[in-house]
Amino acid sequence: MYAELTRAAVLEAAKTLFIAGGFEATSIDDIARLAQSSKGAVYHHFRDKRDIFTEVYRASQHAIVAKVIDSMTNQPGQQEPWERVEAGTHLFLRSYVDDNDARALLAQVMGVLGWDGVRALDEEIALPFLRATLQDFVTKGYARAVPIDATVEIFFSVFCNAILYIAAAADPDTASQEVEKVIAIALEGLKTAATRV
């Protein structure tokens, strides 16, 4: 129990420091001090600072994706299938408008983890749900018969660039509205004739 509390305190301290000063400016000593722990205790739970950042970013992404999944699957009978997608898209994009911490971590992640590190987290957190959703839509006739993996890769790239655009924007709110319109147009191409409004 104590070990779990120590680990949680380290992650919370690291998150605060990464957001306030950035990954490069934050040291293990800084994290240990803010967590009111020893440097040895930090290394007991994490290999290095990059490992800590990975866990902080993973938790941030899990929280956002979990909300999106819940919004799309919790009460599916109350919305049309593509309305659920549109609602999930809106929630996903707005998360990077409303959550300053998520934006700050997103802005650093590629520089800290690199393409392979980010891709591994995407594969763990978001991509399985996207593949399963598209496969379900194709099977049920909501979406056109497209190659699942290729389509998910293309649309996921669009979503990733959309949130990077929002994170870098001087006005994230306006940026979110702009990219949401573009994504809505792109999604129209996936719909079958029967599901187009």
The pLDDT tens digits of the residues spanning 52-81 come to 999 999 999 999 999 999 999 886 566 789
Residue-wise pLDDT tens digits, 8-32: 999 999 999 999 999 999 999 999 9
Residue-wise pLDDT tens digits, 76-108: 566 789 999 999 999 999 999 999 999 999 999
* 17 Cβ contact list (under 8 Å, min separation 6): 26, 30, 31, 34
CA distance 178 to 104: 20
Q: Which amino acid is at 71?
A: S
Residue range of the domain that includes 28: 1-46
Q: Is residue 103 domain-shared with residue 9, that is, in the same domain?
A: no
User: Residue 26's domain is classified under what CATH number?
Assistant: 1.10.10.60
Half-sphere exposure of 178 (CA within 13 A, CB side): 11
User: Residue 184's domain is classified under what CATH number?
Assistant: 1.10.357.10
Please state whether the predicted TM-score (pTM) of the whole model is above 0.85.
yes
Q: Is residue 187 domain-shared with residue 123, that is, in the same domain?
A: yes
Report whether 15 contacts 102 (CB < 8 A). no
Q: Is residue 18 domain-shared with residue 104, that is, in the same domain?
A: no
For the chain, how many structural domains are there in total?
2
Q: Is residue 173 domain-shared with residue 114, that is, in the same domain?
A: yes
> Average pLDDT, whole number, for the chain?
95
| Exposed/middle/buried for residue 61 (C-beta within 10 Å: 0-12, 13-18, 19+) | buried
